Every structure is written in structure tokens, then in C-alpha cells.
Amino acid sequence: MESHDIEAVERQLGRPPRGLRKVAHRCPCGNPDVVETAPRLPDGTPFPTLYYLTCPKAASAIGTLEGSGLMKEMQARLADDAELAAAYRAAHDDYIARRDKAAAEEGMEPLPRDMQSTGGMPYRVKCLHALVAHELAVQGGNPFGAEALERLPEWWADGPCVRAEDEQ
């Protein structure tokens, strides 16, 4: 990753990022808003979240959606809609395959097959932040991430969350 991207992510998170591999998606403002992380931290600790949302403006907007009860509604639909459940399971399987590929590229042992993927997949809707990050990184990859993304305001519209000249 470019040093300016690493610095932007550090400012976004308010701490040094861990296990960064690359920018997985850029906000329309130009900053990273999703990064891809290694499946294990440098000390070997499992880190199952391959796609990590970094933009605090996006995170805040998603938090508002989570507070609206949307996840409960999504969870209910998941139980009642076999086609949706199959698409969510496919998103989970794709996520695991991408995470395993990242582990191989990093020369790491893949995470155990029974370890969670992200956001509660494949049976629960637990974290819209993770599901939106997945959808941003892999467009068309996550049905609930895509649905949440469509409901979000343009979080970047009033300017980027961090600027190069911003200081800690």
C-alpha cells in the first residue's frame, strides 16, 4: 500500500491499522473507505474480517441504519426467503474463498473452515458495517451489503473524512 493511504487509514481509525494488504475500495472523495486485511495479524492471531470499513462518515451512516431495526428485518427475511438465503450463503462462501486466497498470498495458514466469515454470514445478519464493506470491495457480492448501501446517504458529499494535511 502507498504510504499516503496507510496514513489516511490511520487517521480514519484513530490508531495504526493492523494487517493491511491493500485498498479494497475508494470513497468517491478519493480516500480509502475499505481495506483488505490479512487473515492473521503479524503475531498469528486470527483476523477473520477480510474487508474492513475505515471511513468514519460511512461507519456513522451505517450505524444509523443499524439503529433503525434494519438488521432485524433482514434477519426475518433471511429465514423466510430461500433465494435470499442462498445468495447470502454464496456471499459467505465467496468471502471464505477470498480470505483463503489472501492467506495463501501472505504465506499464512488459512483460518479454520468453521470460523466466521463476516457480519454474521451465512445464517445471521449481525454487522452492516462488515456487509457493506464486503459489497463495496466485491460489487454484487453481498445481497444485504448492497441493500444497506442503497439506503445510505452520500456520506462523502460534504467532503472527505480526512485530508492529507490533517494531523493526529
Number of other residues whose CB lies within 10 A of the CB of residue 160: 18
> pLDDT (tens digit, 9 = 90+) per residue, 104-145?
999 999 999 888 889 999 999 999 999 999 999 999 999 999
Q: How far is CA 6 from CA 14, 37, 58, in A?
A: 12, 12, 18
Model pLDDT for residues 58-89, shown as the tens digit of each residue: 999 999 999 999 999 999 999 999 999 999 99
CA nearest neighbour of 65 among 130, 141, 137: 130
pLDDT of 164 over the 90 cut: no
Q: What is the DSSP string of 104-158?
A: HHHT-PPPPTTS--STTTTT----HHHHHHHHHHSTTS-HHHHHHHHHS--TTTT
pLDDT at 115: 83
Which triple of cell numbers denotes residue 117?
466469515
Give the residue-averaged pLDDT of 19-38.
Answer: 96
Is the pLDDT score of 168 beyond 70? no
Give phi and psi for 30, each to the nearest 5.
105, -20
Q: Which residue type does 145 have?
A: G
Three-state secondary-structure class, residue 1: coil
Residue with cell 485530508: 163
Give the three cell numbers for residue 84.
435470499
